[in-house]
């Protein structure tokens, strides 16, 4: 069910005029490799043209651990037209860990990157 929702929401967002043409993550035929090829190409083009370049690299991977779902979903609604029904469905997130036949407590959360059920 979540893969179907991801496909439909992803298609909707990618067709929005607010979707950045340089977006690489979570996009078909785009990856960190294609993003790096673009950066290297820009640096080499500037060097060939005698223009200065500055490259700043930040590791923001931990920033997603503090992502507030309500803020994120409100921005998605405003930028990409997510409906209130979709927003509501994505708002009530929970997860649990299963080890063999044993299932541990369900935990609800309101920050971090949404994840699916994890099987160990």
What is residue 69's predicted lDDT score, i.e. its pLDDT? 76
pLDDT digits (tens, 9 = 90+) for 65-102: 777 778 878 888 888 888 888 887 777 777 778 888 88
pLDDT digits (tens, 9 = 90+) for 11-28: 888 888 888 887 776 677
Residue 47 scores a pLDDT above 90: yes
Domain coordinates of the chain in residue numbers? 1-57, 60-120
Strand 118-119 relative to strand 97-99: parallel, antiparallel, unpaired?
parallel
User: Rounded CA gap, 14 and 52, in Å?
Assistant: 33
* pTM reported for the whole predicted model: 0.51
Detail the DSSP E strand segments found in 27-115: 94-95, 97-99, 102-103, 107-108
HSE-up of residue 84 (Cα within 13 Å, Cβ side)? 0
């Amino acid at each position: 069910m979540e893969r179907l929702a991801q496909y439909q929401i992803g298609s909707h967002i990618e067709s929005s005029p607010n979707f950045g043409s340089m977006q690489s993550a979570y996009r078909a035929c785009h990856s960190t490799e294609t993003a790096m090829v673009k950066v290297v190409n820009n640096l080499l083009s500037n060097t060939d043209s005698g223009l200065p370049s500055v490259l700043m690299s930040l590791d923001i991977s931990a920033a997603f651990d503090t992502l507030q779902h309500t803020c994120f979903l409100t921005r998605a609604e405003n930028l990409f037209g997510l409906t209130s029904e979709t927003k509501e469905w994505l708002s009530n997130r929970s997860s649990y860990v299963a080890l063999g036949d044993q299932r541990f407590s369900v935990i609800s959360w309101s920050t971090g990157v949404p994840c699916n059920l994890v099987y160990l």
